[in-house]
């Protein structure tokens, strides 16, 4: 299986879907992590260029150790909503080049503007990647489904799919601690990422789980590990 995780900031994908990433990496599936920004505005008293380099190095080391491909699009932090058609077309080409079975991204109801914007552009790019007249120089590609994760800033989340991450839970916690520029400062964010899987596990009938929303119909073949679907 081939999977793309598209996040606004370097730590978002592991916060919301780290267990799934680790589960499928252990299955030797091909995974690409795309960071739309480098979160260079995340620490107000740190120079942006320096923080960008540190955040990217942090992500590079983590992904290299896990055997995951990673890319940075360098859209300015907190300005994704202004990237528009250029970002959509860029993501269409990434989807067509990588030919993923599944794409993962943010849930649209979120208090962070970058998360909302990425959710919208990813959904649009997944849809338009099937249109031959859009970016006509690259062959079209149709994904099997789009999964949207939840984070601390997510609101009104509607879970449809639960993935049992009991076997990956401890490794997910260890992985999140590798974001050394963020973990000591954003304790509420990281604590939520560690505690929420227990809540979703209770809902799904296992010890720990991650939950996802799907804007399109879900089939059993999308994620072999899913526990339950809500309609």
Domain boundaries along the sequence of the chain:
2-229
Tens-place pLDDT, residues 32-78? 999 999 999 998 889 999 999 999 999 999 999 999 999 999 999 99
The angle at the Cα of 181, spanning 75 to 117, to the nearest 5 degrees, equals 30
What pLDDT shows up at residue 76?
A: 97
Residue 88's φ and ψ, nearest 5 degrees, are -60, -45
Cβ atoms within 10 Å, residue 47:
10
CA 212, CA 106: separation in Å to the nearest integer?
10
What pLDDT shows up at residue 215?
A: 92
Tens-place pLDDT, residues 130-188? 999 999 999 999 999 999 999 999 999 999 999 999 999 999 999 999 999 998 788 88
* Mean pLDDT, the chain, whole residue set: 93
Domain topology for 2-229: Rossmann fold (3.40.50)
Band of residue 231 on the pLDDT scale cut at 50, 70, 90: very low
User: Is the CB of residue 67 less than 8 Å from the CB of residue 102?
Assistant: no
Q: Structure pTM?
A: 0.94
What percent of the chain stands above pLDDT 70? 94
What pLDDT shows up at residue 68?
A: 97
Over range 78-86, report the average pLDDT. Answer: 95
Please give the residue that has the higher pLDDT: either 221 or 189: 189
CA 105, CA 140: separation in Å to the nearest integer?
20
What pLDDT shows up at residue 229?
A: 47
What pLDDT shows up at residue 225?
A: 61
Band of residue 227 on the pLDDT scale cut at 50, 70, 90: low
What pLDDT shows up at residue 125?
A: 98
What pLDDT shows up at residue 184?
A: 74
Crossing angle of helices 187-204 and 169-176, in 10° steps, is 170
Q: Is the pLDDT of residue 214 over 90?
A: yes
What pLDDT shows up at residue 230?
A: 44
Q: Which two tokens stand for residue 199?
A: 């809540």
């Amino acid at each position: 299986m081939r999977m793309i995780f598209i996040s606004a900031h370097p730590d978002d994908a592991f916060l919301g879907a780290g267990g799934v990433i680790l589960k499928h990496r252990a299955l030797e599936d091909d995974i690409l992590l795309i960071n739309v920004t480098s979160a260079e505005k995340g620490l107000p008293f740190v120079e942006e260029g320096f923080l960008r380099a540190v955040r990217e190095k942090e992500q590079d080391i983590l992904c290299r150790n896990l055997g995951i491909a990673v890319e940075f699009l360098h859209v300015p932090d907190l300005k994704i909503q202004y990237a528009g058609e250029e970002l959509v077309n860029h993501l269409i080409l990434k989807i067509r080049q990588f030919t993923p079975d599944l794409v993962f991204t943010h849930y649209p109801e979120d208090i962070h503007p970058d998360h909302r914007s990425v959710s919208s552009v990813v959904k649009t790019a997944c849809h338009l990647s099937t249109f031959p007249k859009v970016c006509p120089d690259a062959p079209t590609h149709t994904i099997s489904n789009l999964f949207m994760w939840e984070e601390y800033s997510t609101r009104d989340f509607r879970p449809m799919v639960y993935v049992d991450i009991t076997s990956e839970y401890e490794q997910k916690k260890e992985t999140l601690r590798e974001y050394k520029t963020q973990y000591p400062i954003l304790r509420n964010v990281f604590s939520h990422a560690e505690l929420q899987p227990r809540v979703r596990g209770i809902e799904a009938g296992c010890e720990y789980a991650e939950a996802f929303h799907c804007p399109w119909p879900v089939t059993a073949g999308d994620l072999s590990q899913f526990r339950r679907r809500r309609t």
